[in-house]
Amino acid sequence: MCKVIVFAGTTEGRQLAEFLSRRELPALICVATEYGEQLLPSSDALDISHKRLTEIEMEQLFQEKGAPLILDATHPYAAEVTENIRKACEKTDASYVRILRENSEAAGSRESLYADSVEEAVGLLEHTEGNILVTTGSKEAGKFTALSDYKNRVFLRVLSLPNVARQCAELGFEGRNLICMQGPFSTELNVAMLRQLDCKYLVTKMSGSTGGFQEKIEAAKICGCTPVIIGRPLKEEGISVLQCKRLLCERFSLSSQAEITLAGIGMGSAESRTGEAQKAIQEADLLIGARRMVESCARRGQDIYVEYDSQKIADYIQKHPEYEKVVLVLSGDTGFYSGAKKLLQVLGDKVKVICGIPSPVYFMSRIKKSWDDVLLTSVHGKEERLPWLIQTHEKVFSILGTKDGISGLAEKLLEIGLDEVQMYTGERLSYDNELLRRGTPKDFLNYEADSLSVVYVENPNYRRNFATHGIPDSAFLRDKVPMTKEEVRTVSLSKLRLYEDSVCYDVGAGTGSVSVEMAVRAGRGKVYAIEKKPLAIEVLQKNKAKFALDNLEIIEGLAPEAMEDLEPCTHAFIGGSSGNMKEIIRLLLQKNPRVRIVINCIALETLSETLQCLKELPLTDTEIVQIAASKAKSVVGYHMMTGENPIYIISCTGAGISEMESPE
pLDDT at residue 510 greater than cutoff 90 = yes
What pLDDT sits at residue 662? 43
pLDDT at residue 209 greater than cutoff 60 = no
Same domain, 323 and 346: yes
The mean per-residue pLDDT over the stretch 499-511 comes to 95
Question: Closest Cα partner for 326 from 279, 281, 358?
Answer: 281
- Distance of CA 389 to CAs 411, 454, 466, Å? 15, 15, 14
- Classify 348 as helix, strand or coil: coil
Helix 11-22 and helix 241-251: axis angle, to 10°?
30
| Number of residues assigned to the chain | 664
The mean per-residue pLDDT over the stretch 300-310 comes to 90
- Is the separation of the CB atoms in 156 and 177 below 8 Å? yes
The mean per-residue pLDDT over the stretch 496-518 comes to 95
- Classify 371 as helix, strand or coil: coil
What pLDDT sits at residue 210? 53
Residue 661 belongs to a domain: no
| CA separation for the pair 380, 308 (Å, rounded) | 15
pLDDT tens per residue across span 150-171:
999 999 999 888 999 999 999 9
- Is the separation of the CB atoms in 301 and 240 below 8 Å? no
Q: If pLDDT is split at 50, 70 and 90, which confidence band does 104 have?
A: very low
Same domain, 449 and 497: no
User: In sequence order, which residues have a C-beta less than 8 Å from that of residue 539 and are 6 or more positions away?
Assistant: 477, 478, 479, 481, 510, 511, 512
The mean per-residue pLDDT over the stretch 30-37 comes to 80
Residue 361 belongs to a domain: no
What pLDDT sits at residue 118? 92
Q: In this structure, what CATH number is given to the domain that contains residue 510?
A: 3.40.50.150
Residue, of 88 and 210, whose pLDDT is higher: 88
Residue 174 belongs to a domain: yes
Burial class (CB within 10 angstroms; exposed 0-12, middle 13-18, buried 19+) of 235: exposed
Same domain, 122 and 209: yes
Q: If pLDDT is split at 50, 70 and 90, which confidence band does 105 have?
A: very low
Residue 238 belongs to a domain: no
Q: If pLDDT is split at 50, 70 and 90, which confidence band does 116 have?
A: confident
Quote the domain boundaries for residue 40. Answer: 4-98
Q: If pLDDT is split at 50, 70 and 90, which confidence band does 234 have?
A: low
The mean per-residue pLDDT over the stretch 99-127 comes to 73
Computed on alpha carbons and rounded to an integer, the radius of gyration of the chain in Å comes to 39
Residue 587 belongs to a domain: yes
| CA separation for the pair 455, 397 (Å, rounded) | 6
Q: Provide the number of structural domains found in the chain.
A: 5
- Classify 291 as helix, strand or coil: helix
Q: In this structure, what CATH number is given to the domain that contains residue 420?
A: 3.30.950.10
Same domain, 131 and 37: no
Same domain, 331 and 266: yes
User: Of 410, 427, 458, which marks where a domain is finished?
Assistant: 458
Residue 38 belongs to a domain: yes
User: Of 98, 122, 144, which marks where a domain is finished?
Assistant: 98
Q: In this structure, what CATH number is given to the domain that contains residue 303?
A: 3.40.1010.10
The mean per-residue pLDDT over the stretch 474-480 comes to 86
Q: In this structure, what CATH number is given to the domain that contains residue 212?
A: 3.40.50.620
Residue 248 belongs to a domain: no
Same domain, 494 and 643: yes
Strand locations in 450-532 (E): 453-458, 503-507, 526-531
Q: Considering the chain, what is the average pLDDT of its residues?
A: 90
Same domain, 510 and 634: yes
Same domain, 341 and 380: no
Helix 513-521 and helix 534-547: axis angle, to 10°?
30
Same domain, 480 and 558: yes
Question: Closest Cα partner for 492 from 479, 480, 502, 506?
Answer: 506
What pLDDT sits at residue 636? 83
Same domain, 380 and 504: no
What pLDDT sits at residue 557? 96
pLDDT at residue 635 greater than cutoff 90 = no
What pLDDT sits at residue 107? 32
- Distance of CA 218 to CAs 39, 112, 159, 213, 290, Å? 11, 12, 22, 9, 40
User: In sequence order, which residues have a C-beta less than 8 Å from that of residue 266 and are 6 or more positions away?
Assistant: 272, 273, 274, 277, 331, 332, 333, 356, 357, 362, 430
The mean per-residue pLDDT over the stretch 608-628 comes to 95
Share of the chain above pLDDT 70, in %: 95
The mean per-residue pLDDT over the stretch 637-656 comes to 89
pLDDT tens per residue across span 333-345:
999 989 999 999 9
Same domain, 219 and 264: no
pLDDT tens per residue across span 327-381:
999 999 999 989 999 999 999 888 999 999 999 999 999 999 999 999 999 987 6
pLDDT at residue 102 greater than cutoff 70 = no
pLDDT at residue 659 greater than cutoff 50 = no
pLDDT at residue 33 greater than cutoff 80 = no
The mean per-residue pLDDT over the stretch 572-599 comes to 96
User: Of 325, 354, 383, which marks where a domain is finished?
Assistant: 354
Burial class (CB within 10 angstroms; exposed 0-12, middle 13-18, buried 19+) of 58: buried
| 1-5, 190-194, 383-387, range with the lowest pLDDT | 383-387
- Distance of CA 7 to CAs 18, 227, 531, Å? 13, 22, 80
Residue 487 belongs to a domain: yes
The mean per-residue pLDDT over the stretch 276-305 comes to 91
| CA separation for the pair 293, 33 (Å, rounded) | 43
What pLDDT sits at residue 233? 62
What pLDDT sits at residue 380? 77
| 354-368, 406-420, 559-573, range with the lowest pLDDT | 406-420
Same domain, 204 and 137: yes
